[in-house]
A and B are shown apart, each in its own frame.
Chain A
Amino acid sequence: MQLLIQRIFDGFSDGAVYASVAVALVLIFKATTLINFAQGEMAMFGAFFAYIFAVQSGWLEFLGNTYLIIWTAAIIAMVLSALLGATIERTLTRPFDPEDHLPVVLITLGLFLGINAIAGIIWNYQARVMPSMFPNSSKDKITVFGARLFYDTIGTILTLGVVLYILFLILNKTKMGLAFRAVSANVESARLVGVQTGRVLSFGWALASAFGALGAVIVAPRITLQPGMMGAIVIYAFASAAVGGLDSVGGAALGGVIIGLTKSLGNGYLGNWHFGFEEPPLNFLPATPLLIPVVLMLVVLWYRPSGLYGTKRIERV
């Protein structure tokens, strides 16, 4: 029982991070119907921005309090990432025909490699310690039915919950948000009601990049900061977005939690299952439970191709 609760907490903790990157993927998908393969690497870059401001440069030391410093750095990183995202949209994707997906998808794949390499050149590939936005020593926790619930987990979930809510308000209560959803529903009609679609696309990329960067800043202290840090996370984020629905922000967030829980529970209960052998019969078998989220994704997509909350493409004419 205690172990079950523990694994659920862990699942939420990881899931919140998958959710943030999944939401970023969904935002760009909604705007452009493209999968941005570079989302994880852009988020990693954002985490380095935060690192520069919080640690490397010492620019924020005048703030005194370590948490104040990392929170300020995180916000600056989100803003810089937003600018970077908008710039990438404007310069690397907009010149191409939006109807033809292949060139732009290849560009995002190229960005995936390029951004990773640039980060390697600037910061090299050694792992760095990133300060956490929440108290994260081994005693910063409360105990629930014997299971440890770390402040880090609570903080992660609360922060992403609040940011998700702000995102919901932006999309549903502002004129720019309405324009964004209009472009997402029908680009040509959006232009015909006077929406400057280019600006909306930049806005979508900016919002997505900021969101992804926050996820990376939150996860970096757990897995150390390095150019390859988002590799596994972005795969699970893809799975989350696919499970929740590629065009549903709320679905992607929920998908993140589902994937986080499946991974944590699957790994916890099946991770040491050796198929009756004393030792794992093959080296890869202990890693098999990590595939469970992917299997879950396949099952969901089999029964609901547009994900749990994705729009089914039915239109009456």
Chain B
Amino acid sequence: MTKEILSVQNVKASYGAIEALHGIDLVVNEGEIVVVLGANGAGKTTTLRAICNMLSTSGTVMLDGEDISKTDTASIVAKGVAHVPQGRGTFAALTVRENMEVGAYTRNDDEVEADIDMWFEKYPVLGERQKQAAGSLSGGEQQMLAVARAAMSRPRLMLLDEPSLGLAPLIIEDLFRTFAQINKEQGTSMLVVEQNANLALEIADRGYLIETGLITGSGTADELRNDPAVQAAYLGA
């Protein structure tokens, strides 16, 4: 029996008078990587922001069976959700190392330093630049930092908002390999929002299609990959 770590039920969200989500339902099971595919403006980012209660919503968001739709963002993070926002969201004025330290803000154990060193070993580029301001890193390095920083909170669920945006293909591949690795080694569940369907479906277990604020399809990664509509819209087939 699989256990739902995240369950989004009939979530609607609006920016002022404009409703961006018209009632979204989706589920992430424990240990799964779930991808949400959609075009620009379909509501992908809004969905992730709604899960973290960063804008006013209606509907229910359940984390591990607990309703978090009225919980404030910082407390949701403390419950084990890490959100890597679009555009990285690194602290440009802080050093790379400080970014990592603040990523562990919700933790109170004494393994923070060890975790940072572990990541710097994994990404030597970050280690070499740990005293540099994060704003001086390249786009790819900033995305690595954003992911590593999110992982520093030892989340049970990671929300990744278009991690491939604006990155070179080789870097994207590397990044997705890291996601798969974090997922496998630490059992972190992931909800990835992407336009780059190829790579996302490669590491994902399941996926959803989102169009103009509505879920229009779902299935296992294989089903989606072989779906002619998906192929036409996202895989360039």
Residue A191 interfacial (CB < 8 Å): yes
B102 touches A182 (CB 8 A): yes
Out of A178, A197, A311, A316, which one reaches B102, CB within 8 Å? A178
* Chain B residues with CB under 8 A of A196: 72, 74
Out of A182, A185, A189, which one reaches B85, CB within 8 Å? A189
B105 touches A179 (CB 8 A): yes
B105 touches A194 (CB 8 A): yes
Residue A314 interfacial (CB < 8 Å): yes
A317 touches B77 (CB 8 A): no
**Number of CB contacts from chain A to chain B under 8 A:** 80
Known A182-B94, A186-B91; judge A192-B85 contact (CB<8 A): yes
Known A193-B102, A194-B105, A317-B139; judge A182-B91 contact (CB<8 A): yes
A317 touches B166 (CB 8 A): yes
Residue A100 interfacial (CB < 8 Å): no
Residue A39 interfacial (CB < 8 Å): no
Out of B52, B94, B137, B139, which one reaches A192, CB within 8 Å? B52
CB-contacts of B74-90 with A (<8 A): 74-75, 77-78, 82-83, 85, 87, 89-90
Tell me the minimal C-beta distance from A100 to chain B in angstroms.
14
B139 touches A189 (CB 8 A): no
Tell me the minimal C-beta distance from A290 to chain B in angstroms.
35
CB-contacts of A123-150 with B (<8 A): none
B105 touches A317 (CB 8 A): no
Bound complex: CA of A193 vs CA of B102, how far in Å? 7
Residue B229 interfacial (CB < 8 Å): no
* Chain A residues with CB under 8 A of B153: 193-194
Tell me the minimal C-beta distance from A95 to chain B in angstroms.
15
Which among A175, A178, A181, A192 has the greatest number of chain B C-beta atoms within 10 A? A192
A192 touches B91 (CB 8 A): no
Residue B206 interfacial (CB < 8 Å): no
CB-contacts of B19-44 with A (<8 A): none
In the complex, the chain A residue whose C-beta lies closest to that of B98 is: A178
Known A178-B102, A181-B94, A184-B93; judge A316-B139 contact (CB<8 A): yes
* Chain A residues with CB under 8 A of B94: 181-182, 185
Known A185-B94, A188-B85, A317-B87; judge A195-B105 contact (CB<8 A): yes
In the complex, the chain B residue whose C-beta lies closest to that of A312 is: B135
Chain A facing B: main interface SS: helix
CB-contacts of A178-224 with B (<8 A): 178-179, 181-182, 184-186, 188-197
Tell me the minimal C-beta distance from A153 to chain B in angstroms.
34
Residue B101 interfacial (CB < 8 Å): yes
Bound complex: CA of A181 vs CA of B101, how far in Å? 12
Residue A315 interfacial (CB < 8 Å): yes
* Chain B residues with CB under 8 A of A186: 89-92
Q: Mark B97-127, 1 if CB is under 8 A from A, else 0.
A: 0100111011000000000000000000000
Residue B226 interfacial (CB < 8 Å): no
The interface of chain B, by Cβ under 8 A from chain A, is 52, 54, 72-75, 77-78, 82-83, 85, 87, 89-94, 98, 101-103, 105-106, 135-139, 142, 149-150, 153, 166
Q: 22 A-B pairs, CB-CB below 8 angstroms? A: A181-B93, A182-B94, A182-B98, A184-B93, A185-B94, A186-B90, A188-B54, A190-B91, A192-B73, A192-B77, A192-B82, A192-B83, A193-B82, A193-B106, A194-B75, A194-B77, A194-B105, A195-B102, A195-B105, A196-B74, A316-B136, A316-B138
